[in-house]
Amino acid sequence: MAKKLLEIKNLKQYFNEGRPNMVKAVDDVSFDIYEGETLGLVGESGCGKSTTGRTILRLYDATDGQVLFNGENVHGRKSRSELKRLNRKMQMIFQDPYASLNPRMTVGDIIAEGIDLHGLAKNSKERMARVHELLETVGLHKDYASRYPHEASGGQRQRIGIARALAVDPDFIIADEAISALDVSIQAQIINLMKKLQREKNLTYLFIAHDLSMVKYISDRIGVMYFGKLVELASADELYNNPMHPYTKSLLSAIPIPDPETERVRKRTPYDPNVHQYTPEDLPEIREVKPGHFVYCSKRELEQLQASH
């Protein structure tokens, strides 16, 4: 079995803590990511999935909980050199390929930022050779190194973003809605590129998205978030074929089917969070209903789910 690369334990990220307008963006979330796998994290806008990714990378300081990368606490006290080493091993591909690239810098300089920061090239010739290699790795001609971001399309800019993430040879990459701003045909190309790079470089991904249909094609396992909580976690096939949490069922029912006749009569499954009635003695938490399949539920709901599955 693959080893755990990342362990997220009871992670909390609260904004405006202690104030009347406090937001529990990430509320007691726990999951593991194994070396070489892709974990998909899905949910509607505002559910906390992007905040989870940013907190893992320490772009936000966690309110509580732990993020362990190869057993090392990401949010513990760190020296500048320790932070630099961690940052090299954990990278992010951002949602907006337009806003995440500095328009005043050439593509070559954008990609080489990490190379410069970590001193990965001995001289300018080696630096440029590395930039050209990275451009070709993501399917772009080396001539792009002298261009500016505005001269590239959305899909090309996202490839540049991927090249920038790969420049420091990371072990773990968070793709935060990395394909949501792209056309469907371009989305498929970026997904295929990411899968190819994962095989070649043994990369581990956290793939954050709101589109369940696309997540299935890249993910080994999928976690579903709702209002800061992880409500279900299972293998991709298991989640699609045997969803257990009502919110997951609602999300799946909203995926359009490319058949007008079927789509016309198909019924969506609404989700009403108020149907759950809990007592102080039996509060919900993430529980393993069957091997590898976790659901946010109370003990009573756990017994019902195990009896019906």
- Give the residue-averaged pLDDT of 95-117: 91
Whether residue 227 is predicted with pLDDT greater than 80 in this model: the reply is yes
Q: Measure the CA–CA gap between 229 and 238, rounded to whole angstroms.
A: 20
Residue closest to 175 by CA, chosen among 271, 42, 16: 42
Domains contained in the chain, CATH given = 4-275 (3.40.50.300)
Whether residue 1 is predicted with pLDDT greater than 70 in this model: the reply is no
Whether residue 97 is predicted with pLDDT greater than 80 in this model: the reply is no
Number of Cβ atoms within 10 Å of the Cβ of 292: 11
Q: How confident is the model at residue 214 (pLDDT cuts 50, 70, 90)?
A: confident
**DSSP code, position 62:** -
Whether residue 94 is predicted with pLDDT greater than 90 in this model: the reply is no
Tens of pLDDT, residue by residue over 264-275, are 887 888 888 887
Q: How confident is the model at residue 71 (pLDDT cuts 50, 70, 90)?
A: very high
- What percent of the chain is modeled with pLDDT above 90? 72
- Give the residue-averaged pLDDT of 49-57: 95
- Give the residue-averaged pLDDT of 208-234: 92
H or E element, residue 8? strand 4-15
**DSSP code, position 242:** S
Whether residue 303 is predicted with pLDDT greater than 90 in this model: the reply is yes
Q: What angle do CA 11, 277, 251 make, to 5 degrees?
A: 60
Tens of pLDDT, residue by residue over 119-156, are 999 999 999 999 999 999 999 999 999 999 999 998 99
Q: Measure the CA–CA gap between 164 and 295, rounded to whole angstroms.
A: 36
- Sign of dihedral through CA atoms 89, 90, 96, 102? negative
Q: Measure the CA–CA gap between 230 and 146, rounded to whole angstroms.
A: 44
Whether residue 38 is predicted with pLDDT greater than 70 in this model: the reply is yes
Tokens encoding 197: 């790079």
Would you mind telling me the total number of residues written for the chain in this entry? 309
Whether residue 212 is predicted with pLDDT greater than 90 in this model: the reply is no
Tens of pLDDT, residue by residue over 230-239, are 999 999 999 9
- Sign of dihedral through CA atoms 81, 67, 248, 204? positive
Q: What angle do CA 183, 163, 197 make, to 5 degrees?
A: 80
Tokens 């279900």 map to which residue?
Answer: 232
| Type of residue at 303 | E
Tens of pLDDT, residue by residue over 251-266, are 998 887 777 887 788 7
Backbone phi, then psi, for 251, in 5-degree steps?
-60, -45
Using a 10 angstrom Cβ sphere, with 0-12 exposed, 13-18 middle and 19 or more buried, the burial of residue 20 is exposed
pLDDT at residue number 256: 78
pTM for the whole thing?
Answer: 0.92
Q: Measure the CA–CA gap between 219 and 37, rounded to whole angstroms.
A: 8
| Residue-averaged pLDDT of the chain | 92
Q: Give Rg (Cα) of the chain.
A: 21
